[in-house]
Protein backbone atom coordinates (compact mmCIF):
# COMPACT_ATOMS: atom_id res chain seq x y z
CA UNK A 1 0.00 0.00 0.00
CA UNK A 2 1.26 3.47 -0.94
CA UNK A 3 0.88 6.10 1.77
CA UNK A 4 0.04 9.65 0.70
CA UNK A 5 0.06 12.58 3.11
CA UNK A 6 -2.05 15.41 1.67
CA UNK A 7 -2.16 18.85 3.27
CA UNK A 8 -5.20 21.05 2.67
CA UNK A 9 -7.31 17.94 2.04
CA UNK A 10 -10.59 19.26 3.45
CA UNK A 11 -11.65 21.13 0.31
CA UNK A 12 -10.77 22.17 -3.23
CA UNK A 13 -7.77 20.68 -5.01
CA UNK A 14 -6.43 18.68 -2.03
CA UNK A 15 -9.77 16.97 -1.38
CA UNK A 16 -10.11 16.12 -5.07
CA UNK A 17 -6.55 14.73 -5.23
CA UNK A 18 -7.49 12.44 -2.31
CA UNK A 19 -10.75 11.32 -3.98
CA UNK A 20 -9.03 10.63 -7.31
CA UNK A 21 -6.24 8.64 -5.61
CA UNK A 22 -8.86 6.58 -3.76
CA UNK A 23 -10.86 6.01 -6.94
CA UNK A 24 -7.75 4.96 -8.91
CA UNK A 25 -6.04 2.75 -6.30
CA UNK A 26 -8.82 1.63 -3.94
CA UNK A 27 -7.39 -0.66 -1.25
CA UNK A 28 -3.83 0.11 -2.38
CA UNK A 29 -4.15 3.73 -1.25
CA UNK A 30 -3.45 4.89 2.31
CA UNK A 31 -4.43 8.54 2.67
CA UNK A 32 -3.50 10.90 5.49
CA UNK A 33 -5.73 13.95 5.23
CA UNK A 34 -4.79 17.17 7.03
CA UNK A 35 -6.41 20.61 7.36
CA UNK A 36 -8.13 22.61 10.10
CA UNK A 37 -11.78 21.67 9.39
CA UNK A 38 -12.29 18.26 10.97
CA UNK A 39 -15.89 17.79 9.73
CA UNK A 40 -14.92 18.46 6.14
CA UNK A 41 -11.91 16.14 6.43
CA UNK A 42 -14.17 13.39 7.80
CA UNK A 43 -16.53 13.81 4.83
CA UNK A 44 -13.61 13.52 2.36
CA UNK A 45 -12.27 10.49 4.26
CA UNK A 46 -15.68 8.80 4.02
CA UNK A 47 -15.73 9.35 0.24
CA UNK A 48 -12.24 7.83 -0.02
CA UNK A 49 -13.12 4.84 2.19
CA UNK A 50 -16.16 4.18 0.00
CA UNK A 51 -13.63 3.43 -2.79
CA UNK A 52 -11.77 0.97 -0.53
CA UNK A 53 -8.92 3.30 0.48
CA UNK A 54 -7.72 3.61 4.07
CA UNK A 55 -7.94 7.17 5.32
CA UNK A 56 -6.60 8.84 8.46
CA UNK A 57 -7.93 12.28 9.40
CA UNK A 58 -5.48 14.64 11.11
CA UNK A 59 -7.00 18.02 12.08
CA UNK A 60 -4.15 20.52 12.15
CA UNK A 61 -3.34 24.19 11.70
CA UNK A 62 -0.28 23.76 9.55
CA UNK A 63 0.83 27.36 9.99
CA UNK A 64 2.42 26.06 13.23
CA UNK A 65 5.57 23.94 13.01
CA UNK A 66 4.70 21.48 15.85
CA UNK A 67 1.42 20.62 14.11
CA UNK A 68 3.28 19.88 10.86
CA UNK A 69 5.66 17.58 12.71
CA UNK A 70 2.75 15.92 14.56
CA UNK A 71 1.03 15.28 11.21
CA UNK A 72 4.03 13.35 9.91
CA UNK A 73 4.32 11.44 13.21
CA UNK A 74 0.62 10.50 13.06
CA UNK A 75 1.05 9.20 9.50
CA UNK A 76 4.05 7.06 10.44
CA UNK A 77 2.39 5.79 13.61
CA UNK A 78 -0.68 4.67 11.64
CA UNK A 79 0.93 3.30 8.47
CA UNK A 80 4.65 2.85 9.28
CA UNK A 81 5.82 4.66 6.15
CA UNK A 82 5.28 7.64 3.84
CA UNK A 83 5.56 7.35 0.06
CA UNK A 84 4.13 10.66 -1.12
CA UNK A 85 3.80 14.10 0.48
CA UNK A 86 1.48 16.53 -1.29
CA UNK A 87 2.15 20.08 0.00
CA UNK A 88 -1.12 21.65 -1.06
CA UNK A 89 -2.51 23.61 1.93
CA UNK A 90 -2.68 27.26 1.06
CA UNK A 91 -4.53 30.55 1.30
CA UNK A 92 -5.11 33.32 -1.17
CA UNK A 93 -4.92 37.08 -0.77
CA UNK A 94 -5.91 40.01 -2.93
CA UNK A 95 -4.98 43.62 -2.23
CA UNK A 96 -3.03 46.37 -3.89
CA UNK A 97 0.09 46.88 -1.77
CA UNK A 98 -0.57 50.63 -1.48
CA UNK A 99 -4.00 49.85 0.04
CA UNK A 100 -2.53 47.81 2.94
CA UNK A 101 -2.18 49.88 6.14
CA UNK A 102 0.98 49.44 8.21
CA UNK A 103 -0.99 47.95 11.13
CA UNK A 104 -2.43 45.27 8.81
CA UNK A 105 0.79 44.18 7.12
CA UNK A 106 1.18 41.26 9.56
CA UNK A 107 -1.13 39.10 7.43
CA UNK A 108 1.69 38.92 4.84
CA UNK A 109 3.60 36.86 7.42
CA UNK A 110 0.55 34.69 8.11
CA UNK A 111 0.24 33.94 4.42
CA UNK A 112 3.93 33.01 4.25
CA UNK A 113 3.47 30.62 7.17
CA UNK A 114 0.69 28.67 5.52
CA UNK A 115 1.87 28.84 1.90
CA UNK A 116 5.63 28.47 2.35
CA UNK A 117 6.50 27.43 5.89
CA UNK A 118 3.93 24.63 6.23
CA UNK A 119 5.55 23.04 3.16
CA UNK A 120 9.05 23.50 4.58
CA UNK A 121 8.08 22.05 7.98
CA UNK A 122 6.08 19.09 6.60
CA UNK A 123 8.79 18.28 4.06
CA UNK A 124 11.55 18.45 6.66
CA UNK A 125 9.69 16.11 8.99
CA UNK A 126 8.75 13.65 6.23
CA UNK A 127 12.11 13.59 4.41
CA UNK A 128 13.70 10.61 6.23
CA UNK A 129 10.60 8.51 5.45
CA UNK A 130 10.45 9.70 1.84
CA UNK A 131 14.12 8.80 1.38
CA UNK A 132 13.46 5.34 2.83
CA UNK A 133 10.61 4.76 0.35
CA UNK A 134 12.32 6.52 -2.62
CA UNK A 135 9.14 8.51 -2.54
CA UNK A 136 7.73 11.67 -4.00
CA UNK A 137 7.10 15.25 -3.00
CA UNK A 138 4.48 17.34 -4.75
CA UNK A 139 4.22 21.08 -4.17
CA UNK A 140 1.18 23.01 -5.30
CA UNK A 141 2.60 26.41 -6.18
CA UNK A 142 0.72 28.65 -8.63
CA UNK A 143 1.13 30.46 -11.90
CA UNK A 144 1.52 33.43 -9.52
CA UNK A 145 4.71 31.65 -8.40
CA UNK A 146 6.17 32.03 -11.90
CA UNK A 147 4.78 35.42 -12.92
CA UNK A 148 4.17 38.30 -10.49
CA UNK A 149 0.46 39.07 -10.47
CA UNK A 150 -0.75 42.60 -9.59
CA UNK A 151 -2.93 42.66 -6.49
CA UNK A 152 -1.15 39.57 -5.28
CA UNK A 153 2.17 40.78 -3.86
CA UNK A 154 1.81 38.61 -0.77
CA UNK A 155 0.51 35.55 -2.61
CA UNK A 156 3.06 35.79 -5.44
CA UNK A 157 5.88 36.24 -2.91
CA UNK A 158 4.79 33.11 -1.02
CA UNK A 159 4.45 31.05 -4.20
CA UNK A 160 7.75 32.26 -5.74
CA UNK A 161 9.35 31.27 -2.42
CA UNK A 162 7.77 27.81 -2.69
CA UNK A 163 9.07 27.49 -6.23
CA UNK A 164 12.61 28.42 -5.19
CA UNK A 165 12.57 26.11 -2.19
CA UNK A 166 11.35 23.08 -4.09
CA UNK A 167 13.55 23.65 -7.17
CA UNK A 168 16.63 23.76 -4.94
CA UNK A 169 15.45 20.74 -2.94
CA UNK A 170 14.82 18.77 -6.14
CA UNK A 171 18.46 19.16 -7.14
CA UNK A 172 19.63 18.23 -3.62
CA UNK A 173 17.52 15.06 -3.67
CA UNK A 174 18.52 13.88 -7.14
CA UNK A 175 20.73 11.04 -5.90
CA UNK A 176 18.28 9.95 -3.19
CA UNK A 177 15.53 8.73 -5.50
CA UNK A 178 13.01 11.21 -4.08
CA UNK A 179 11.35 13.20 -6.88
CA UNK A 180 9.89 16.69 -6.57
CA UNK A 181 6.97 17.75 -8.77
CA UNK A 182 5.96 21.42 -8.64
CA UNK A 183 2.46 22.17 -9.92
CA UNK A 184 1.53 25.61 -11.24
CA UNK A 185 -2.27 25.88 -11.50
CA UNK A 186 -3.76 29.02 -13.05
CA UNK A 187 -7.30 29.96 -12.01
CA UNK A 188 -9.11 26.89 -10.65
CA UNK A 189 -12.79 26.87 -9.63
CA UNK A 190 -12.50 26.59 -5.85
CA UNK A 191 -13.50 28.97 -3.03
CA UNK A 192 -9.89 29.97 -2.29
CA UNK A 193 -10.18 33.56 -3.44
CA UNK A 194 -13.40 34.11 -1.48
CA UNK A 195 -11.71 32.94 1.74
CA UNK A 196 -8.43 34.77 1.06
CA UNK A 197 -7.25 37.91 2.82
CA UNK A 198 -8.32 41.38 1.68
CA UNK A 199 -6.21 44.50 2.40
CA UNK A 200 -7.25 44.42 6.08
CA UNK A 201 -6.46 40.71 6.45
CA UNK A 202 -10.16 39.74 6.55
CA UNK A 203 -11.82 37.10 4.32
CA UNK A 204 -12.24 38.78 0.92
CA UNK A 205 -15.74 37.35 0.31
CA UNK A 206 -15.28 37.75 -3.45
CA UNK A 207 -12.74 37.24 -6.19
CA UNK A 208 -10.61 39.97 -7.79
CA UNK A 209 -9.92 37.73 -10.79
CA UNK A 210 -12.03 36.95 -13.82
CA UNK A 211 -13.36 33.48 -13.04
CA UNK A 212 -15.24 32.69 -16.27
CA UNK A 213 -12.55 30.43 -17.71
CA UNK A 214 -11.48 28.80 -14.46
CA UNK A 215 -10.24 25.22 -14.75
CA UNK A 216 -12.38 22.63 -12.98
CA UNK A 217 -10.97 21.23 -9.77
CA UNK A 218 -11.26 17.73 -11.23
CA UNK A 219 -9.08 18.63 -14.23
CA UNK A 220 -6.53 20.36 -12.00
CA UNK A 221 -6.24 17.35 -9.65
CA UNK A 222 -5.99 15.00 -12.64
CA UNK A 223 -3.10 17.01 -14.11
CA UNK A 224 -1.28 17.09 -10.77
CA UNK A 225 -1.65 13.33 -10.30
CA UNK A 226 -0.58 12.64 -13.87
CA UNK A 227 2.57 14.78 -13.35
CA UNK A 228 3.31 12.97 -10.08
CA UNK A 229 2.75 9.58 -11.68
CA UNK A 230 5.34 10.44 -14.35
CA UNK A 231 7.60 12.05 -11.74
CA UNK A 232 7.61 15.22 -13.83
CA UNK A 233 9.59 18.19 -12.53
CA UNK A 234 6.75 20.58 -13.28
CA UNK A 235 3.11 20.68 -14.17
CA UNK A 236 2.27 23.93 -16.00
CA UNK A 237 -1.40 23.61 -16.76
CA UNK A 238 -2.36 25.55 -19.88
CA UNK A 239 -0.88 26.67 -23.18
CA UNK A 240 -1.23 30.32 -22.10
CA UNK A 241 0.67 29.64 -18.89
CA UNK A 242 3.46 27.88 -20.79
CA UNK A 243 3.64 30.75 -23.27
CA UNK A 244 3.53 33.43 -20.52
CA UNK A 245 6.48 31.87 -18.77
CA UNK A 246 8.73 32.16 -21.80
CA UNK A 247 7.25 35.46 -23.01
CA UNK A 248 8.25 36.96 -19.64
CA UNK A 249 11.91 36.52 -20.61
CA UNK A 250 11.51 38.12 -24.03
CA UNK A 251 8.63 40.62 -23.82
CA UNK A 252 8.03 41.28 -20.09
CA UNK A 253 5.90 44.38 -20.71
CA UNK A 254 3.39 42.29 -22.68
CA UNK A 255 3.17 39.78 -19.84
CA UNK A 256 2.63 42.60 -17.31
CA UNK A 257 -0.25 43.92 -19.41
CA UNK A 258 -1.77 40.42 -19.62
CA UNK A 259 -1.45 40.03 -15.82
CA UNK A 260 -3.31 43.33 -15.29
CA UNK A 261 -5.98 42.24 -17.76
CA UNK A 262 -6.66 39.14 -15.64
CA UNK A 263 -7.96 41.42 -12.87
CA UNK A 264 -11.53 42.58 -12.67
CA UNK A 265 -11.88 46.32 -13.41
CA UNK A 266 -12.58 47.20 -9.74
CA UNK A 267 -9.48 45.31 -8.54
CA UNK A 268 -7.04 47.22 -10.79
CA UNK A 269 -4.65 49.91 -9.54
CA UNK A 270 -6.36 53.31 -9.50
Ligand X SMILES: NC(=O)c1ccc[n+]([C@@H]2O[C@H](COP(=O)([O-])OP(=O)(O)OC[C@H]3O[C@@H](n4cnc5c(N)ncnc54)[C@H](OP(=O)(O)O)[C@@H]3O)[C@@H](O)[C@H]2O)c1
Angle at 22 between CA 183 and CA 221, to 5 degrees: 25
Q: How far is the CB of 177 from ligand X (least distance, A)?
A: 26
- Under 8 Å between Cβ of 200 and 214: no
Specify whether 184 is catalytic.
Answer: no
Q: State yes or no: residue 140 binds ligand X (CB under 6 A).
A: yes
Q: How far is the CB of 82 from ligand X (least distance, A)?
A: 18
Closest CA to 126 of 169, 83, 166: 83
Give the whole-angstrom CA distance, residue 24 versus residue 107. Answer: 38
Q: State yes or no: residue 195 binds ligand X (CB under 6 A).
A: yes
Q: Report the residue number, 132 or 138, with the smaller CB distance to ligand X.
A: 138
Q: How far is the CB of 59 from ligand X (least distance, A)?
A: 8
Q: Report the residue number, 98 or 239, with the smaller CB distance to ligand X.
A: 239
Question: Which of these segments, 29-37, 47-55, 95-103, 127-135, binds ligand X (CB under 6 A)?
Answer: 29-37
Instruction: Name the catalytic one among 108, 129, 155, 184.
Output: 155
Q: State yes or no: residue 88 binds ligand X (CB under 6 A).
A: yes
Footprint on residues 206-265 left by ligand X (CB under 6 A): none
DSSP string, 132-175: HTT-EEEEE--GGGTS--TTBHHHHHHHHHHHHHHHHHHHHTGG
The single residue among 42, 51, 61, 124 that binds ligand X, judged by CB under 6 A, is: 61
The single residue among 13, 68, 180, 204 that binds ligand X, judged by CB under 6 A, is: 13
- Under 8 Å between Cβ of 82 and 130: yes
Angle at 173 between CA 171 and CA 178, to 5 degrees: 125
Residue 33 DSSP one-character state: E
Q: In a 3-state reduction of DSSP, which class is residue 54?
A: strand
Binding residues for ligand X, rule: CB under 6 A, are 8-14, 35-37, 40, 60-63, 88-91, 114, 140, 142, 185, 187-188, 190-192, 195
Amino acid sequence: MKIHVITGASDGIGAEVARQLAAAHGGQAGLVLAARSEDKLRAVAAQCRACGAQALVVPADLSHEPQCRALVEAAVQEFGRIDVLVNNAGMSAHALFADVQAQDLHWYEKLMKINLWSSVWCTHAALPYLKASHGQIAAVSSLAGLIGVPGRTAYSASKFAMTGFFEALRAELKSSGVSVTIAYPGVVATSIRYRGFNARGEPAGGSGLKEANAMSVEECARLILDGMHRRRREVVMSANAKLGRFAKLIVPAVVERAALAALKEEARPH
